[in-house]
Amino acid sequence: MRLRNIPGSKEVIAESEYVIHEPETVKGKWRRLFGNEKPLFIEIGMGKGRFIMDMAKAYPDINFVGIERYSSVLLRALQKMDEIEEKPENIRFICMDAKDILDVFDNGEADRIYLNFSDPWPKDRHAKRRLPSREFLKRFDVILSKDGTIEFKTDNKELFDFAVSELEPAGWKADVITYDLHADKELSKDNIMTEYEEKFSSIGNPICKYIIRR
Ligand code: SAM
């Protein structure tokens, strides 16, 4: 997802109290930033932020950080945040490429990572850019706590098969693997939909999901 550059977006982002502007300076201090010891969940590639905002409202005892690469997309999330009457205290955003995530979170600092409808990068030579690739799993291994988990959802079966095939070589195990999340009563009970999930499930695409740990 890349939206055309929107005039004034840089200024809106610069002024937002929800955006962490120098995230490297918060490395190792995320709990201090939130002012509590609650678990820290991250969504990487949050897009317009619907999922993470709904999660923050539903789970006030967890702190959430949404990461998005493009400022034009982050701006949409901030506009959505503006419309919320009771703004959640437990959410912040970062505009960055997740390849630099080790500069921003310390060893074991996060408790869960969500990857939702990650870009597929279909060409083989771009496999390393896929967020559920072993290269990214290696980074996530560093920043996740001992019992930390990664949850990945997509309607792209090729990307999902690739993601599953990356688990063993990267030293991860699946707690859950489904190729049709919405058909599984138990798994879909507390499922919070992302923007893409709503769009693609509404045209009949089954949603794949895994939950993994080391
Ligand atoms: N997660 C949202 C959803 O499910 O509705 C958005 C999905 S959209 C297909 C993927 C988003 O991930 C895009 O907004 C893209 O800019 C962002 N993204 C992709 N690779 C990224 C990276 N390496 N770091 C940060 N954001 C990334």
pTM of the model: 0.96
Share of the chain above pLDDT 70, in %: 97
Looking at per-residue pLDDT, the higher value among 173 and 7 belongs to 173
| Distance from the alpha carbon of residue 47 to the mean position of ligand 1, in angstroms | 5
Is the Cβ–Cβ distance between 117 and 197 less than 8 Å?
yes
**pLDDT mean over 196-202:** 98
| Distance from the alpha carbon of residue 181 to the mean position of ligand 1, in angstroms | 20
For residue 172 and ligand 1, the question of a CB distance below 6 A is answered with: no
Q: How does DSSP classify residue 193?
A: P
| Distance from the alpha carbon of residue 121 to the mean position of ligand 1, in angstroms | 12
Amino acid at 40: L
pLDDT in tens, 178-194: 999 999 999 999 999 99
Three-state DSSP class for 194? coil
Q: How confident is the model at residue 129 (pLDDT cuts 50, 70, 90)?
A: very high
**pLDDT mean over 47-52:** 98
Q: Looking at the annotation, which residues are catalytic?
A: 119
Which residues, other chains included, contact 59 with Cβ-Cβ below 8 Å and sequence gap of 6+?
Answer: 90
- Which residues, listed in sequence order, are joined to residue 64 by a DSSP beta bridge? 41, 91
CATH of domain 9-213: 3.40.50.150
For residue 195 and ligand 1, the question of a CB distance below 6 A is answered with: yes
| Distance from the alpha carbon of residue 129 to the mean position of ligand 1, in angstroms | 12
Q: How confident is the model at residue 157 (pLDDT cuts 50, 70, 90)?
A: very high
Cα(37)–Cα(97) distance, integer angstroms: 26
Q: What is the pLDDT of residue 93?
A: 98
Among 44, 154, 201, 208, the mutation site with the greatest number of ligand 1 atoms within 8 A of its Cβ is: 44
**Cβ atoms within 10 Å, residue 164:** 17
Share of the chain above pLDDT 90, in %: 94
DSSP states along 81-135? HHH-SS--SSEEEEES-GGGGGGTS-TT-EEEEEEES-----SGGGGGGSTTSHH
For residue 133 and ligand 1, the question of a CB distance below 6 A is answered with: no
Residue 114 buriedness (CB in 10 A; 0-12 / 13-18 / 19+): buried
Q: What is the pLDDT of residue 35?
A: 98
